[in-house]
Structure 1
Amino acid sequence: MENTRIIIADSRENSRKILQESLNRCGYQIQAEIRNAPELLRRARTLYPDLVIIDANIEGGGVFEMAGIIQEDEIADVLIIAGNDSRQLKDFAHIFKPYTPETLEAAVEICLLYKARFVQIRQQVARLQEDMRTRKLVDQAKGLLMQKSGLTEQEAYRRLQKESMNKGMSMKDVARAVIDSNK
């Protein structure tokens, strides 16, 4: 929480001050206070905060487009503070005015929790993709061993495993070596 960096974007100085005080009491670090929409995008791209809190009525408009850019470019998560309901709010984390400090803190914590889960899922997907690439290489190497040496699939796999253990190499590297030697 104490390392969480937040940008506050609101045209009204009093609103920014209230937000900052509430977030500081919760232990969050305010990286920047922004007064208008164009400045927000520039600063977000420079600072890469964990969360951007935007008032829906910020000067310069285009709040939903800007929030979309910030999220799509994976700059930060976005929490919009809105005065009324809008169809466009459904795409973003949001709270309505008036809000309590407890509501703000809960919304920030939920945003950060979902961000952490998203990062974990993205890492898991990357690992699974790497596992699939390894599996494809191993299958290709097995096929070559079966074709060249007349081995069964199980025997070819065991040969790759044995080679991996004997040479202290990963199955992926052994499979790649088999494929490269048969080119």
Structure 2
Amino acid sequence: MKDYPRIKRLSTLGIIRHQHFDYEFGPFRTDFVGEGGAGKSMISDLLQLIFVGVRYFHSPTKGSGPREAKTLVLRSEGKGTDMGYAFLSLELKKNQYVIVGIYLESSGAAEMFIVQQGNNFEADTKLATFGQLLGVAEFQRDNSILPINELRDHIIDNFNLTC
């Protein structure tokens, strides 16, 4: 069984086949099962996107067309640019978390992000953990997905964390 660090949760917000979900990962093993087309391969695509970003993303899944990051965003008819998030809650010590994730737009724009306690993001320092597990509910305001610049303010104002 894995001690720490470990992936505690994968959260998806505005992502096709994974609309608004928090997937809890077990300390020993986590299985994703379902019929073809349910979105199992997309989980690995989202993990890859979070860790390597859009520039180096390449989905090995064969589909009806190329799977690009912008095609993973759930589309709303007539809305214009839609947005989504995929993020991991990493448990570095017992009940102590940081979040790493990616913000995606249907236009193709994307931005990787980290949520931690404090503002020190220097390369030679450790990420500062926090004690509250955040998920899709905390990444929304009034049940609406926030653009990344508004999410930053929302995280600071409501959780006293830095995004």
TM-score by length of 1: 0.26
Q: Which has the higher contact order (CA 8 A, sep 6+)?
A: 2
TM-score by length of 2: 0.29
Q: Which has the higher strand share?
A: 2
> Looking at CA atoms only, which structure, 1 or 2, has the larger radius of gyration?
1
